[in-house]
């Protein structure tokens, strides 16, 4: 694993079934979920920010460079110890730390564990099998994702005041 100096991006290389699996990732947003946070009121002096949370949720862009089964889930949950919200399999034996905002969305599927997972393929690039032309396919976030992100943003904004 290689991390960038900012700690928010890097490269994960893990063997999957004896074959290398490589992904790059970049943290786009970090949300403070569950418990409080505090920040200086903006007085301009020497101030520090202290954030303590029971669960932190992040929006992460992952670009798999190889195509292994469950690659993104394994890299996030096992290699980076940052399992996907809703993933019950790849979490190093730890109990799920689900943000309160996600709970209703996860149980909307009848409450079956692992039925809803917050993983979305926003874009896919490949060569057309006949013409060889580059194809770029994209898909917007599902409404449930938009709802969860909006809720996490509101909660984080309220917690950090």
Q: Which residue has the tokens 């490269």?
A: 11
Other Cβ atoms less than 10 A from the Cβ of 96: the count is 15
Tell me which residue range forms the domain holding 122: 2-159
Q: What is the mean pLDDT of the chain?
A: 77
pLDDT of residue 132: 97
CB 62 within 8 A of CB 28: no
Residue 127: what are its φ and ψ, rounded to 5°? -85, 135
Number of domains in the chain: 1
Please write the tens of the pLDDT for every residue from 16-50: 667 788 899 999 998 876 533 333 334 444 443 44
């Amino acid at each position: 694993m290689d991390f960038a100096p900012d700690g928010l991006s890097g490269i994960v290389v893990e063997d999957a079934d004896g074959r290398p699996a490589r992904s790059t990732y970049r943290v786009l947003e970090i949300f403070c979920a569950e418990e409080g946070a505090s920040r200086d009121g903006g007085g301009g002096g020497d101030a520090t920010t202290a954030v303590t949370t029971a669960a932190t949720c992040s929006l992460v862009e992952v670009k798999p460079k190889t195509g292994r089964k469950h690659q993104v889930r394994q890299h996030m949950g096992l290699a980076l110890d940052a399992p996907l919200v809703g993933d019950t399999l790849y979490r190093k034996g730890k109990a799920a730390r689900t943000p309160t905002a996600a709970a209703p969305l996860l149980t909307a599927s009848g409450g079956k564990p692992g039925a809803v997972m917050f993983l979305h393929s926003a874009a896919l690039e490949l060569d057309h099998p006949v013409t060889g032309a580059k194809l770029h396919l994209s898909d917007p976030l599902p409404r449930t994702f938009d709802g969860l992100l909006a809720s996490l943003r509101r909660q984080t904004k309220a917690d950090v005041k």
